């Protein structure tokens, strides 16, 4: 279309936001091969280095040998294999919930669940349920939530109320003011572009005060946060029947897929009302077995999380010594605020030229004028790699940023 060509040319000319790294031929662990050159990734979500684990690879091979490459059918029909039920039980236990539901990806999980939670009564009416109560639904969403959350809420057709980022006073005012009969608070646990962590205990307290549910996207916390890597709820030591915990299997666990852990009655309803569960295939069998093995490794090898957090603390301390403005230092996502989009892109290119892949984050992922370099820490980063990266940044600061 001519319109898209004009838009493309204008954005490319004004902000150069279409730059991506060259084609790669291996996955980061955190080193990888890019067009014959060895590079170090500070952008991978493979936080614990599990994607290359021999135990995961062996588990995936077992799945391929026993089940083939896919189940090729909805789980509501003939595709509900035992390995999926076993993994859901393991995920439910991890999150200390009654049960869990698997999905093909984390993005699909948010789209499917959030678009369905408020529409289940429509299906029930077909079977003769006529409630005297007219339910009015409202989502209360943090302004920095992931796009999959925002899309899922939009698809639901329910009222969306946006509150200021991690501002519990603003959320409390909006919960009190709204007269919806069914209120659902939705938040990332670890915010992927800022790296900060939502105050989950406060969200649950407000849910109690206003008879609401809390849907928490723990994509970047599962496997990483908490004493055993169970995620944000374990880190804060909180438990509530109001809490629906969502997570992904493509980050700390090194595979692919998404899930929610929740109460059994909620899962039972969603199995029949969530199109993203009932009208598509789920993750391949080899991935289910790989994820199960990854969960066991996280429990049996706590030194992986220990190395990850040691690298995070070392990186943050050295970054602060350079006088850079960190957006947050709470998680293993450590963004450095640059501000100007062109300058941020220039810095990312400079790092790439020196053998490092770091994400340049700009609009629409973040607000105009708040571009940042986003550094994702990894358990397998070496001190030499971190020091070399920071030495390059130090020289760049002296030569260009000041």
Residue 60 CA to its chain's centroid (Å): 23
Dihedral of the CA atoms 333, 338, 342, 346 (nearest 10)? -70
Q: Is 278 helix (H, G, I), strand (E, B) or coil?
A: helix
Q: Return the exposure string of 302-333: e unless at least 16 CB atoms fall within 10 Å of the residue's CB, then b.
A: eebbebbeebbebbbebbeeeebebbbbbbbb
Interatomic CA distance for residues 145 and 188, integer angstroms: 6
Token digits of residue 77: 């029909």
Q: Which of 146, 183, 220, 381 is catalytic?
A: 220
Q: Is 192 a catalytic residue?
A: yes
Q: Which of 174, 251, 357, 381 is catalytic?
A: 251
> Does 329 participate in catalysis according to the annotation?
no
Q: How far apart are CA 355 and CA 393, in angstroms?
A: 13
To 10 degrees, what angle do helices 264-273 and 106-116 make?
90
- As a dihedral over the C-alpha atoms of residue 291, residue 231, residue 299, residue 53, rounded to 10 degrees, the angle is 40
Other CB atoms closer than 10 Å to residue 346's CB: what's the count?
16
Please state the separation of Cα 392 from the chain's center in Å: 29
Exactly one of 41, 141, 187, 192 is catalytic; name it: 192
Q: How far is CA 231 from the centre of its chain?
A: 12
Q: Catalytic site residues?
A: 192, 220, 251
């Amino acid at each position: 279309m001519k319109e898209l060509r004009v838009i493309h040319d204008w954005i490319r000319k004004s902000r150069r936001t279409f730059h991506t790294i060259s084609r790669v031929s291996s996955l980061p662990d955190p080193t990888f091969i890019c067009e014959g050159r060895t590079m170090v990734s500070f952008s991978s979500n493979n936080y614990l280095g599990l994607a290359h684990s021999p135990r995961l690879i062996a588990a995936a091979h077992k799945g391929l040998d026993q089940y083939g490459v896919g189940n090729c059918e909805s789980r509501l029909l003939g595709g509900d294999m035992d390995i999926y039920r076993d993994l859901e039980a393991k995920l439910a236990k991890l999150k200390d919930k009654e049960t869990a539901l698997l999905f093909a990806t984390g993005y699909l999980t948010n789209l499917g669940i959030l678009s369905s939670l408020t529409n289940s009564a429509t299906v029930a009416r077909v079977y003769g349920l006529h409630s005297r109560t007219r339910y009015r639904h409202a989502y209360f969403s943090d302004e920095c939530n992931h796009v999959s959350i925002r899309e899922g809420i939009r698809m639901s057709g329910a009222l969306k109320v946006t509150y200021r980022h991690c501002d519990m006073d603003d959320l409390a005012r909006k919960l009190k003011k709204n007269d919806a009969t069914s209120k659902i608070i939705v938040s990332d646990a670890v915010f992927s572009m800022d790296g900060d962590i939502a105050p989950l205990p406060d969200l649950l307290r407000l849910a109690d005060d206003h008879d609401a549910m809390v849907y928490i996207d723990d994509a970047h916390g599962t496997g990483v946060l908490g004493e055993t890597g169970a995620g944000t709820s374990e880190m804060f030591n909180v438990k509530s029947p109001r809490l629906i915990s969502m997570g992904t299997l493509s980050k700390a666990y090194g595979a692919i897929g998404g899930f929610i852990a929740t109460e059994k009655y909620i899962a039972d309803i969603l199995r029949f009302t969530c199109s993203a569960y009932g009208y598509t295939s789920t993750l391949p069998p080899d991935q289910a077995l790989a994820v199960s093995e990854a969960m066991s490794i996280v429990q049996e090898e706590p030194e992986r999380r220990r190395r990850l957090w040691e690298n995070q603390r070392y990186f943050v301390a050295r970054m602060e010594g350079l006088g850079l403005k960190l957006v947050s230092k709470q998680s293993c996502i450590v963004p450095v605020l640059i501000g100007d989009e062109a300058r941020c892109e220039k810095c990312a290119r400079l790092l790439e030229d020196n053998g490092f892949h770091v994400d340049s984050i700009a609009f629409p992922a973040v607000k105009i004028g708040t571009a940042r370099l986003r550094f994702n820490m990894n358990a397998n980063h070496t001190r030499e790699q971190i020091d070399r990266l920071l030495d390059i940044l130090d020289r760049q600061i002296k030569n260009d940023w000041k």
